[in-house]
């Protein structure tokens, strides 16, 4: 048995390396996926896998870990190495050894780049990336892949962070005996990409807490520590910031740890009372008490990013932000007719269960073959089907819609005589992302000229942490939308969140309403709604500017153009 205990991060890295070698050899891609999935599972755990193994815990209890991977982990923990991996390592070329240490790089793609550029090291790859040669020789996509793959980044999507936050919170409470631990920072502001997880804690001795935290996931590094603040790096790479505050100053500390730099800077300069609140002996147990003391109304955490919230709070003019209860229906959902997992009836029943008044079925249009887009004939049939269904329904209405592709020339993917039969349309770009900003903008503007265009679907096509999305001139498109009675969606899918909060803010300020939609491909995905709500709140939307807050008759009138 080795003297050294392995952290979850180290175990995961070995499995990832093995996956990289298998992938490089062109091995079974499902096997590669299985190793990667297992590694991700392990990384996300707070309990030490090493310890679990030594206590003979059955690792196959964890999702994605079966007999083979469980045995591999046991071997790793008990002997310190994995024979299978060492064998592969001893036979691998030096450049591959290096690539295997970068789990986010696709080995086969990188090896192809090496060959064409006549290089053989990560250092040279970085150089070529910096010189822009990856882009010129291999295109934007490859550049993006290499950049992401080389980044020592531990950013995660907000919805992934939620799981980590919950695990850490449990750890702080149970293992560290902390009475009160509240997630703050980016997580509390609901920022879509979380770079650092932070907690405000009520603890008498932060250093004692840190000794426990150092064992999180087998081992965590304490990077910096004072009596009141510490930064740790978990073995998964995630940064965890802990700030300690006494109960008496909890409100002040919450504000300090929640707002971004700009919000705090503006608070300090707003009036001298902020410094007093921080330093005086006076008790401020709640945020409300602090804001009141400053002469401001309560600022919801999602707005604390130094935009216009302090000026508005000073005049008591902050918007009453939309919340999930304000949503009366879903406007973007798929069914088995295209690429959804549930039938129209099942989607309808689930929507009814949620208390919705209406649900729009927006299946893909004919050109999007991969998503089994509906032919004209199939859409006609769906329209008749929904008419019949509605005749039998009580309490909920199924809306006739489609997610219509915006073709390369800005034309919509169905003829107008078919589009006019729909209650409304969601129009989206699903192809030719590589167009320039001007072309892509014109494409959308032309599409909006069609009177059957209602809502622009996922305006930029971004996939968070994966793909930047196509470039568009948001101001011009918002302006055109306003003039043509077109609208936007905030797509709540946690890796899209498109419109972004910033773009949504531009729409709101121009007076253009948005729909908060889930783009649900199954009944379970209706639950994504809250992520879209978060972005709408960050953009300062009150419910009155949300399309699917409206009752159907009013929504119908609003959509008419």
Using CB under 7 A, list all residues that contact DNA: 28, 30-31, 33-35, 38, 60, 63-70, 106, 108-109, 112, 116, 136-139, 141-142, 145, 339, 364, 368-371, 430-434, 458, 461, 463, 467
Strands of the 358-361 sheet, one edge to the other = 329-333, 358-361, 397-400
Closest to DNA by CB, 127 or 275: 127
* DSSP for residue 206: H
Q: Which of 430, 432, 434, 414 is nearest to 422 (CA)?
A: 414
The CA-to-CA distance between both ends of the chain, in Å, stands at 74
CB of 100 vs DNA, minimal distance in Å: 16
Closest to DNA by CB, 432 or 437: 432
CB of 92 vs DNA, minimal distance in Å: 18
Closest to DNA by CB, 109 or 476: 109
Residue 330: exposed, middle, or buried by beta-carbon count in 10 A (0-12, 13-18, 19+)? buried
Kindly list the distances between the CA atom of residue 554 and the CA atoms of 221, 336, 339, 392, 557, in Å, as whole numbers in the listed order. 56, 29, 30, 23, 5
Closest to DNA by CB, 136 or 280: 136
What is the C-alpha to C-alpha distance for residues 469 and 511, in angstroms, rounded to an integer? 25
With DSSP H G I counted as helix, E B as strand and the rest as coil, what are the percentages for the chain, rounded to 5?
Answer: 50, 15, 35
Cβ atoms within 10 Å of 40's Cβ, excluding its own: 16
CB of 483 vs DNA, minimal distance in Å: 26
Q: Is the peptide bond before 297 cis (omega within 30 degrees of 0)?
A: no
Closest to DNA by CB, 142 or 313: 142
CB of 82 vs DNA, minimal distance in Å: 11
CB of 329 vs DNA, minimal distance in Å: 20
CB of 556 vs DNA, minimal distance in Å: 25
CB of 525 vs DNA, minimal distance in Å: 12
CB of 442 vs DNA, minimal distance in Å: 16
CA 538 to chain centre: 14
Closest to DNA by CB, 137 or 265: 137
Closest to DNA by CB, 83 or 420: 83
Closest to DNA by CB, 231 or 463: 463
What is the C-alpha to C-alpha distance for residues 82 and 276, in angstroms, rounded to an integer? 59
Joined tokens for residue 310 = 């302090």
9-28 exposure pattern, b = at least 16 Cβ within 10 A, e = fewer: bbbbbbbbbbbbbbbbeeee
């Amino acid at each position: 048995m080795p003297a050294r205990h392995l952290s979850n991060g180290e175990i995961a890295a070995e499995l990832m390396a093995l996956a990289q070698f298998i992938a490089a050899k062109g091995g079974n891609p499902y096997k590669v996926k299985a190793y990667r999935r297992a590694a991700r599972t392990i990384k996300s755990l707070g309990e030490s896998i090493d310890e679990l193994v030594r206590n003979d815990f059955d690792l196959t209890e964890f999702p994605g870990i079966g007999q083979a991977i469980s045995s591999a982990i046991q071997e790793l923990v008990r002997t310190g190495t994995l024979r299978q991996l060492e064998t592969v390592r001893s036979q691998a070329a030096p450049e591959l050894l290096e690539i295997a240490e970068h789990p986010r790089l696709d080995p086969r793609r990188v090896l192809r780049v090496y060959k064409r550029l006549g290089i053989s090291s990560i250092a040279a790859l970085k150089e070529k990336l910096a010189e822009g040669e990856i882009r010129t020789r291999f295109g934007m996509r490859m550049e993006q892949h290499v950049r992401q793959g080389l980044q020592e980044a531990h950013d995660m999507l907000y919805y992934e962070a939620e799981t980590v936050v919950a695990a850490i919170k449990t750890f702080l409470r149970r293992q560290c005996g902390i009475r009160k631990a509240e997630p703050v920072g980016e997580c509390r502001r609901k920022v879509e990409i979380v770079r650092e997880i932070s907690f405000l804690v009520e603890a008498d001795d932060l250093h004692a807490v840190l000794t426990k935290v150092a064992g999180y996931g087998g081992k965590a590094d304490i990077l910096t520590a004072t009596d009141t603040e510490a930064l740790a790096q978990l073995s998964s790479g995630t940064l965890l910031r802990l700030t300690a505050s006494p109960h008496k100053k909890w409100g002040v500390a919450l504000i300090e740890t929640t707002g971004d730099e700009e919000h705090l800077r503006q608070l300090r300069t707003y009036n001298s009372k902020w410094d007093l609140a921080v330093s005086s002996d006076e008790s401020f147990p709640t945020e409300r008490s602090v804001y009141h003391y400053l002469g401001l109304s309560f600022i919801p955490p999602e707005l604390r990013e130094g935009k216009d919230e302090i000026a508005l709070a000073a005049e008591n003019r902050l918007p009453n932000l939309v919340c999930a209860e304000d949503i009366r229906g879903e406007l973007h959902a798929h069914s088995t007719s295209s690429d959804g997992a549930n039938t129209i009836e099942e989607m309808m029943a689930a929507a009814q269960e949620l208390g919705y008044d209406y649900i729009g079925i927006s299946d893909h249009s004919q050109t999007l073959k991969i998503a089994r887009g509906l032919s004209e004939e199939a859409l006609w049939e769906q329209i008749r089907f929904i008419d019949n269904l509605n005749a039998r329904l009580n309490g909920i209405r199924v809306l006739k819609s489609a997610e219509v592709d915006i073709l390369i020339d800005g034309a919509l993917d169905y003829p107008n005589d078919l589009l006019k039969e729909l209650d409304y349309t969601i129009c989206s770009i699903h192809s030719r992302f590589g167009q320039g900003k001007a072309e892509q903008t014109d494409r959308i503007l032309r599409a909006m000229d069609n009177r059957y265009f209602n809502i622009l679907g996922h305006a930029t096509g971004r996939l968070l942490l994966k793909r930047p999305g196509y470039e568009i001139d948001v101001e011009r498109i918002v302006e055109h939308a306003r003039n043509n009675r077109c609208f936007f969606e905030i797509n709540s899918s946690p890796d899209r969140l498109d419109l972004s909060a910033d773009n949504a803010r531009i729409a709101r300020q121009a007076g253009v309403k948005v729909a908060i939609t889930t783009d649900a491909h199954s009944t379970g995905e209706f639950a994504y709604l809250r992520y879209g709500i978060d972005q709408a709140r960050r953009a300062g939307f009150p419910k009155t500017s949300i399309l699917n807050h409206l009752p159907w008759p009013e929504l119908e009138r609003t959509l008419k153009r």
